Amino acid sequence: MSGPTIQSATQADTLVLASGSAIRRDILNGAGLDFEVIVKPVDEGAIKLAMLDDGARPREIADALAEAKALRVSKSLLAERQSVRVIGADQVMVMDGVLFDKPTSVDAARERLKAMRGKRHELVGSVVVAQDGQPVWRYLSETRLWMRDFSDEFLEDYLKVEGALVTKSVGAYRFEGPGSQLFSRVEGDFFSILGLSLLPLLQYLRDCGAIAS
């Protein structure tokens, strides 16, 4: 990736992000990591439905999705590369005990945000690192967010500014952008809200020698 890095120049490990998420790329770039992006699609819908039918908890679903993404890419690289650490991540939203998917349109996002205002929801996330086709590290996070009781006028202005970007996240907001104005209170790590628990991941990479300590 472009930009300055602080990863050890003598380190043989290669880091791969198994996600097409722009904000996850930005987080790793901002931390000065040298990595590449490889995305191998997994059937997230099928995984969620099967696990929900089995009574799985949201944290188990987020973890399974992150692991599936990391393993899919890690296994695809087995024949051609060594010492590749693949980072997979996923996040689900829970409100009133219900698991939500990303809104499919701006109109769906509008209705989602109307239902969320004045209420609390949780973002449950997982980061899984795979190597040689096996998971070698994982981290689970949960953040709690209180959405303020904003006006209909504010909501329409917000939707005009964000446009189709509201369909790119499960909560219909970019917390690192104008979406921060939707909230009155949050409990949890900033990076976990964005979808990638950076500080625990960096500590793991330092502990295993993948980046400079």
Q: List, for residues 93-148, the tens digit of each pLDDT value.
A: 999 999 998 999 999 999 999 999 999 999 999 999 999 999 999 999 999 999 99
Of the candidates 41, 10, 8, 33, the residue with the CA atom closest to the CA atom of residue 196: 33
Q: How far apart are the first and last CA of the chain?
A: 21
- Do residues 117 and 183 touch, judged by C-beta distance below 8 A? no
Q: For residue 107, which phi and psi values (nearest 5 degrees)?
A: -65, -40
Separation CA 65–CA 138 (nearest Å): 12
Residue 194: what residue type?
A: L
pLDDT band at 11 (very low <50, low <70, confident <90, very high): very low
Q: Tell me: pLDDT of 9 over 90.
A: no
Active site residues: 90
Here the tokens at position 122 are 């949780």
Residue 36: what residue type?
A: E
Torsion-angle region of 171 (φ positive above 0: left; ψ -120 to 50: alpha; else: beta): alpha
Q: Tell me: pLDDT of 2 over 50.
A: no
Separation CA 181–CA 203 (nearest Å): 31
Model pTM score: 0.90
pLDDT band at 186 (very low <50, low <70, confident <90, very high): very high
Q: What is the pLDDT of residue 12?
A: 45
Mean pLDDT over residues 76-103, rounded? Answer: 92
Q: Tell me: pLDDT of 4 over 60.
A: no
Q: What is the pLDDT of residue 147?
A: 98
Q: What is the pLDDT of residue 79?
A: 82
Evaluated on CA atoms 129, 206, 195, 96, the torsion sign reads positive
H or E element that contains 109: helix 106-116
Q: Tell me: pLDDT of 8 over 50.
A: no
- Do residues 180 and 197 touch, judged by C-beta distance below 8 A? no
Task: Classify residue 14 as exposed, middle or buried by CB count within 10 Å of its CB (0-12, 13-18, 19+).
Answer: middle
Q: What is the pLDDT of residue 77?
A: 94
Q: Tell me: pLDDT of 175 over 90.
A: yes
- Do residues 162 and 99 touch, judged by C-beta distance below 8 A? no
Q: Tell me: pLDDT of 3 over 60.
A: no
Contacts of 40 (CB under 8 A, 6+ apart): 18, 69, 72, 73, 76
Q: What is the DSSP letter of 102?
A: P
